[in-house]
Amino acid sequence: MASATRNAPARPGSGRRARAESAPFHGKLLTGTGWFEHYYHGERVAILASGAEAASILPEVLHTAETVTVFEETSTWVTPLRVPGPLRGLASRAWLRLSVGDAWTRRQLTPNKRFDSREVTVSPSYYAALQNPRTRLIHWPAYAIAVNGIRSADGVEYQVDTIIVGATSRFAATVPTTAKESAR
Amino acid sequence: MSQETRDKLTPFMADLVWIEHIGARGFASLAAKAPTATIREIYRYFHAEEQKHANAELALMRRWGMLEHGRIPEPNTQVKLAIKVLDTYGDTLPLQGLAALIPLLECALDGALVKFLTDTVEDPLCHEVFRHINSDEARHITVDFEVLDYLGARGWISSISSAAELLDPRVVVGLIVVFAPLINKMRDNIVGMGLQEKKLMNAVRRFEKLGGRGEYTARLASYQALKVMGNMIIDRSHPYHRLLADPMVKITNHVPRFLIDKPQSWVKGLSPKAVA
Ligand SMILES: [Fe+2]
């Protein structure tokens, strides 16, 4: 378990924030491509991932899972189809405006001009999946993986059966290897 | 807790919950305008932590039987106005304005209101909860003043040009129409409940003292303006109350509903439950 802290990224404070608890998570912890092979029927699932990753994971998982809680670590621009370079910015803005009616959700899904990547992810169903009543979008930073789920910075424990850790998630480095094996 | 204390404290707790929730929204705006990526990340945590405070205070209200049928208390008109302004202009208000306003509110909450509450209520859980909240708040205040100093250190040209930003009518109207009545209503409520005005004074002194420690903070027009405003607010005999704040409370009590009706969905984010 000590390796969890040693592997943490060197960013100030992030080792404290993104950490695996000493008592391991009771459910399934899926890393890498593990999420693709798992069968989610009736499960409560949490996704810890960047927006770009969540855009491909969420629509798939939502087909069979009972509920999905998405901890979107960074937002991403999305277009429903491939759009030629110069039009991408405009198209992704329009797509967000058209697909997401709620202003606050839209604000959360909008990448920051200065800090977030300008890359555009292609996904026809991400926004629809996010607004599905079985999906919860959480914009609070996830604080730790606890025994029964994910504890986030707002002090709430989101209880789930399965956690998917995206490859570029800041939890990817801190998830203990034993958990990685148990996922197989 | 006696029925009398409960009745007395219910509106106070409801105000407290909503002020924390608005503070949370303020950090969301700060995060969007943060000067560096690290500060943005810190503000994202503060945003969540303020919401945590609001939820914890809501949980205390539930514990004390202050929530009717588990319902979240309705915000008062002044709070609704503040929500409206944050929804409409929150993300475009000048950074140094919000960055100075939030620590002033936190000094007041932390130093005066919360102390008043823990002095009044004997519930050990309440003391435990506010010990945590206070330690968060102390951390927030430290960072808030570091950021102010950082903004001040950008030099005189930047200080002057950002001071000009503060003359933006949205800022002036925001202060007069939203901030002044919101604070005055709460101030009078709590003094009416028995808080000594001296404690409010200490809160503003603390704001001045912490700001005075920063080498460059004094260059910020927003910090200077709020210092003056804070001193006017605590002095009940100051003409500020007679000429501006009291009439504004009266006027805002009659704001037509359609103006402040549809808040954005963050307003519904409150919950007294620790598990979801
Ligand atoms: Fe707070």
pLDDT value of position A132: 94
Low-confidence winner among A64-68, B173-177, B183-187, B262-266 (lowest mean pLDDT): B173-177
Cβ-Cβ contacts under 8 Å, A152 against chain B: 48
- Which of A12, A104, A154 is closest, CB to CB, to B48? A154
Task: Select the more confidently predicted residue: A69 or B187.
Answer: A69
pLDDT value of position A15: 41
Domain spans in chain A, listed from the N-terminal domain onward: 2-8+19-182
Task: Select the more confidently predicted residue: A72 or A19.
Answer: A72
Token digits for A156?
Answer: 């709430």
Q: Spell out the residues 6+ positions from residue A56 whose beta carbon is closer than 8 angstroms to its own.
A: A121, A123
Mean pLDDT for the stretch of residues B82-90: 85
Question: Ligand 1 centre from B20 Cα, in Å?
Answer: 5
* Residues B62, B74: Cα–Cα separation, whole Å: 14
Mean pLDDT for the stretch of residues A44-59: 94
Residues paired with residue A162 on neighbouring β-strands, in sequence order: A28, A45
Contacting B with CB below 8 Å, chain A residues are 12, 17, 102-105, 107, 112, 115, 136, 140-141, 152-159
- ipTM for this prediction: 0.84
CB contact under 8 A, A157 and B274: yes
Domain of residue B188: give its range. 3-260
In a domain, B270, yes or no: no
- Could you give the C-alpha distances from A90 to A47, A97, A102, A107, B228, in angstroms and in order? 28, 11, 20, 16, 45
Q: Spell out the residues 6+ positions from residue A129 whose beta carbon is closer than 8 angstroms to its own.
A: A58, A59, A62, A68, A135
pLDDT digits (tens, 9 = 90+) for B190-206: 888 888 888 888 888 88
In a domain, B275, yes or no: no
Per-residue pLDDT band at A77 (split at 50, 70, 90) = very high
Gap from B228 CA to chain A (nearest CA, Å): 34
Per CATH, which fold does A2-8+19-182 belong to? FAD/NAD(P)-binding domain (3.50.50)
Gap from A36 CA to chain B (nearest CA, Å): 26
Q: CB of B51 within 8 Å of any CB in chain A?
A: yes
CATH code of the domain covering residue B85: 1.10.620
The helix (run of H) or strand (run of E) holding residue A70 is: strand A67-72
Percent of chain B past pLDDT 90, that is, above it, reads 15
In a domain, B55, yes or no: yes
In a domain, B276, yes or no: no
Is the pLDDT at A44 greater than 50, yes or no? yes
* Residues A156, B272: Cα–Cα separation, whole Å: 10
Q: What is the number of domains present in chain B?
A: 1
pLDDT value of position A92: 93
Burial of B248 (0-12, 13-18, 19+ CB in 10 A): buried
DSSP summary character for residue A164: E
Is the pLDDT at A176 greater than 70, yes or no? no
In a domain, B265, yes or no: no
Task: Select the more confidently predicted residue: B167 or A181.
Answer: B167
β-strands A162-165, A28-31 pairing: parallel
Task: Select the more confidently predicted residue: A88 or B176.
Answer: A88
Cβ-Cβ contacts under 8 Å, A157 against chain B: 274-276
Gap from A17 CA to chain B (nearest CA, Å): 10
* Residues A19, A11: Cα–Cα separation, whole Å: 13
**Tokens 């899904």 sit at which residue?**
A109
Residues paired with residue A121 on neighbouring β-strands, in sequence order: A78
In a domain, B237, yes or no: yes
